[in-house]
Chain A
């Protein structure tokens, strides 16, 4: 049985992880389990795999698949509404890996039954090649995963030199070394009661010098976050991310920038109806009137001027420059660190700006006329701008004088 207190090995080389593969499943409905097991059996034919699920009651049998050994466990710490992997999941997986002598672990999040056998194989293969952390690259529709695109991917790439396209991964492959390290970090979060820490493993792995591989994972049903509104969701993700950036400042101020993602871009599905961005822009314009004072505490005059111009731009021409968005994100990161205003209010003030970026991105990447762009190309260009402007964040971070351009 896993417990919340983990006694780490004094001698890392003597870890109990063996050659075995552990699949640690998030809580899932009983009806979904057979499909999951079936996919695992297809992915790893004839291999002895330990599959752990959190509720013992959901483990009636192995679905007739002899090579799968199902084990139940009581979670070390409850993963509340876990739509992404939480700190408790790393603690649990580490304990399970140790108990079952698993050298490699796959941590699969909610709706993991929608992952293809090939995706599962790819994750395990990346670990087998000696990598510590395998991060899936999902095939999403162009308008999905935009928080990743707008914030997590470009900032993770620019600051931590880690280029996984989806740092907020729902599934991970982990070597024993990686699961042990991440569990140690996770313990810090659980003992401090920081259940809202969701965006840290990739940055943590990069800072620890663990090797990270990105693997093709195809399509997947994304789990739905419990938060009904974007404000709360973005607040949770951005808050967690900003905290990680703060914690890891000594690392990212010295890290070198990694090359961009190697994956091919998705072709835009032109059959989709053009998006209606008016509600997003209304939200932005309202916020420009109502939140302007707060923004002026956080953003320098150049950025405020850029926002003013945007607020007056008609919808068809609405384009948020990439460097404006990058500096907004960086200035909010800094304000979070400095507690320039209440952090809850700060994160709330980011939402309308994010919506403005989303609207701009959708307008830029919809349609096929001249001047429009493939979504992934835009995201890659945005990431490069974040990299270029990293020096802006470093200088603001080191000398956060408000008197700046």
Chain B
């Protein structure tokens, strides 16, 4: 009779915690040395207490056991060593009584060569249905080129069968012939076997090796379309005949290749996420979240009812098939020092030995397993930190008997030890006397108790199994931080913030949680409330390998009425109009309020100056949805443009979005962003807050609307207008885009629209088009350069009265939001940290390479540098190429005079030389003044530089001595190019911020210049990051850093070489853009000198301790 499954929720597998075990390895009830179902039944209370909700049994069918049971000889029986069918039924019922579901294996790609089907096939005539149960060929050339999976044991996917007189096909061992799914009889038999177990009440089936079901010549014989047809047929039977049953796909593929196995929710309910697992280990070893975030970025969305299965270890090797060659080499070096630990394409070790039995690392990895999207799958024994035996063959080292207690055979069996199917582990560290269930049950601090508690905690929150995932991107890459969100069916919402420290040292981190301002994080393990979140970055410190799970709860309800802060100024707004505030006496009030308020705004750049007067230049009301509603808000928001006159007579123009809010909105502002409130107003409907309008969602949406609908609005004097670029529609997509204010802005304000768009609202306005907007538009719409955040539109102010014309001023720029891993500066600093870790105890390098020049024949950096810093040098090379591509894009032929490439004139070169002269004078004068403050070593270098003043002038003037026509072309350039201006994104770069140097005038920033100026900027940045990296390392480990200067120079030269070589190769596609090598080097020398002098002046004025970096950089410059 057909039994019901045990689960009542059709999506039970999303909330499950799966425990993988082998009946043979778990508990032996009859003292024959082999685990069995009765033994397993006796341990169900243990498993229930552990909290797991689903048991995945490895194959327990009759089998010659040459592949641990995956070589099945009978699909509808139990291996007599493990018991009988009745024993299995008894086990199934007992598990179900404990609310534990059961998953078994459906190994349908192949059988054992001892299966009666195969024995019959060998004897049957060619072409007969019996023979065609398997895949045969007269030649072993069919399907040539298909990869071999078990490379350690198999030489071909074909094996000759003497009896049949043909070759048979096998993707795994030669004793496992593949079934032929082109024969309908095979599918019939598979479905018969499936029904046999499902009828009994089995809840889930793991489909083993499904990418290989069907073979087609000329393909890789993996993932062929016909395979999906077979899986759909299996799923159809499952859905039509059974309720709440699940199939799980084993497809060891990249996530994008696994995605088709979910189909349109008509193939597998679940699939393993294979590539995540090695990257978790890699991230922990490298102390860098990138491997994890990178693979998750490559993970496609799956149908809502489907689920990933995630795991740390299983019965097979830690597979490294789904990693790059470099990553595989790294993993071997990091995790398998002994070659015996390696097998096939992976590492055959258990969790605890992999992480050197470090409890905190084990806990960290499990915390990721239990909090990542997907259903966690634990491997038996890992809950107590069992070890492995690498001296056993194949993958049997991780399949040893479960260690129950310190009695004979670890309590697994009463048989004489020699009878055990595998010996128990007996060494002093991993042996059963040291690690066993009984001991850990009585030890409240054991890993077993910890695991049990963590599983129980996970089960309390459905968000872990069903919620969305969103990574945060703090600067510190040793921190992995992500949000899980779930709208529950009961209308409630769960938000959990997970933060993990991948490093062996304590780490600080600041998280942008402004979207959750007002929420209160509650640490989930101890139910400890943390300080509420506000608009500022949320700072947390994590101890080594620690993790935090924080539930972001709504702010506690206030019992007492909210009081209006006494120090907020109060003024009347009785006639409810902006006019009353922005004209007449209202301006006087603003003048009183603004200076103090501006001091509290992060974007206000003149905090050291005194505002002597304020005048309103212009303003415009922005129609918003809030006014149209019946809310108590009665005013639109307004963009106000004010002139601030300082006591020294200079004037700045600022943009102030203002709004008036009452009721709950005002209360929330007082609680979460009090600094944005300018004043409390008296209005007819009660007290109201006059505040920065970017806090209001309606204003944020209205600004987006101006761009989206190309809309204009009249201001008091002129007009403002929004406009979208040609890329807008594709990036914006459809649907609502909830907005929030970014927290990392400095001189401007960023508004983020969901995870798609970012609007940069310029605060200090300069007349004319902002270069960032101008260049962004050109690169997006004309040059179609992909390595920038796409320009999507802008808002402009034209304050000229009607009838007059004036160049509009850019108020805001809209771009696509780029998912990234932080800026290039932080990325290279991290890489350098690893580099110094690797070389600090190496002998001093025999050579440090050379500063690269255009006149050199391009050559690779020294092999020593490649050996220790290959990854970061590759990244430097890529940046060189991208930089050249940026310049080529900026030089795209166009009719637009602002972008047309021009030749140098003598006047241009003279102007450059004069500018550098001025820089030399101001810097060296400052250096002379500060000499007495410098350390001895730095003072020596400073004296040397001062003695070269004449020679420096000569270098500057050298550029004006040559033929201007040979100096290459002048184009628009980035203008402020350094590592902080590029983002790392998916192992590539996105170039940002084309505003130019903020201190320069708009005209200077928009002037055309030699692209070599950007090259010089980036070369200086490589130098800076190298020495900053050394300083950081020295601060942490002063003793180890003493002899690292040669290593620093080695890296600096190698990175610069890679960058420049790559730049030269890529820019060469447009001859003439940069001059011939000798002239190019002359210009580069001059521009690099100018940049380094600028840095030196900055450090003298601001960070004397850093003076040595630019100083030694200047002295090392080629002449």
Contacts and interface: CB of A to CB of B under 8 A. Distances in A.
Nearest to B553: A254
A209 B460 CA distance: 18
Given A209-B490, A254-B492, A403-B444, A398 B524 contact: yes
A249 B453 CA distance: 14
Contacts of A395: 526-528
A394 B459 CA distance: 14
B229 interface: no
B616 interface: no
Given A398-B527, A401-B444, A250 B453 contact: no
Contacts of B462: 250
A45 interface: no
A394 B49 CA distance: 19
B778 to A, nearest CB: 52
Nearest to B491: A209
A398 B456 contact: yes
B525 A398 contact: yes
A209 B527 CA distance: 24
Nearest to A339: B49
B457 interface: yes
Contacts of B444: 401-403
Contacts of B459: 250
Contacts of B492: 254
Interface in B435-486: 444-445, 449, 453, 456-457, 459-462
A327 B461 CA distance: 24
Nearest to B444: A402
Contacts of A254: 492, 494
B725 to A, nearest CB: 45
Q: Lowest 3 CB-CB distances: which A-B pairs, in order? A: A395-B527, A394-B527, A399-B525
A396 B460 CA distance: 14
Contacts of A401: 444-445, 449, 453
Interface in A387-403: 391, 394-395, 398-403
A400 B460 CA distance: 14
Nearest to A256: B557
Contacts of B494: 254
Nearest to A393: B527
Nearest to B549: A398
Given A399-B453, A402-B444, A403-B444, A253 B526 contact: no
A398 B490 CA distance: 23
Given A250-B459, A399-B453, A400-B453, 5 more contacts: A209-B490, A250-B460, A253-B460, A394-B527, A398-B527
Interface string A361-405: 000000000000000000000000000000100110011111100
Contacts of B524: 398
A103 to B, nearest CB: 24
Contacts of B453: 398-401
Contacts of A402: 444
A169 to B, nearest CB: 24
B409 to A, nearest CB: 27
A403 B446 CA distance: 13
A391 B553 CA distance: 14
Interface of A: 209, 249-250, 253-254, 339, 391, 394-395, 398-403
Nearest to A255: B492
11 contacts: A249-B460, A250-B462, A339-B49, A394-B527, A395-B526, A398-B525, A399-B453, A399-B457, A399-B526, A401-B449, A402-B444
Contacts of B461: 250
B457 A398 contact: yes
Contacts of B490: 209
Nearest to A209: B490
Contact of A391 (B457, B460, B525, B527): B527
A299 B524 CA distance: 22
Interface centre among B49, B445, B526 (most CB of A within 10 A): B526
A250 B460 CA distance: 5
B467 to A, nearest CB: 14
A400 B526 CA distance: 9
Interface in B525-553: 525-528
A401 B449 CA distance: 9
B454 to A, nearest CB: 9
A400 B51 CA distance: 14
B445 to A, nearest CB: 8
A31 B900 CA distance: 107
B1070 to A, nearest CB: 62
Nearest to A399: B525
Interface string B488-513: 00101010000000000000000000
Contact of A398 (B49, B445, B449, B460): B460
Nearest to A252: B460
B456 to A, nearest CB: 7
B531 to A, nearest CB: 17
A356 B599 CA distance: 62
Contacts of A391: 527
A122 to B, nearest CB: 29
A402 B459 CA distance: 21
A249 B494 CA distance: 15
B7 to A, nearest CB: 14
Interface in B1089-1109: none
Contacts of A403: 444-445
Interface in B297-353: none
A250 B449 CA distance: 20
A401 B492 CA distance: 30
A63 B459 CA distance: 55
A26 to B, nearest CB: 30
Interface in B7-66: 49
Contacts of B457: 398-399
A75 to B, nearest CB: 25
Nearest to B45: A339
Contacts of B456: 398
Interface centre among A394, A399, A401, A403 (most CB of B within 10 A): A399
Contacts of A249: 460
Nearest to A192: B97
Contacts of B527: 391, 394-395, 398
A395 B445 CA distance: 16
A403 B450 CA distance: 13
A395 to B, nearest CB: 4
B863 to A, nearest CB: 52
Contacts of A209: 490
Nearest to B529: A391
A402 B456 CA distance: 16
Nearest to B528: A395
Nearest to A208: B490
Contacts of A398: 453, 456-457, 460, 524-527
A364 to B, nearest CB: 27
A249 B445 CA distance: 23
A249 B462 CA distance: 12
A253 B490 CA distance: 15
Nearest to B556: A256
Contacts of A399: 453, 457, 525-526
A4 to B, nearest CB: 17
Interface string B383-415: 000000000000000000000000000000000
Contacts of A253: 460
A30 B290 CA distance: 78
Interface in B1046-1090: none
Nearest to A188: B8
Contacts of B49: 339
Contacts of A394: 527
A394 B462 CA distance: 17
A402 B449 CA distance: 11
A18 to B, nearest CB: 28
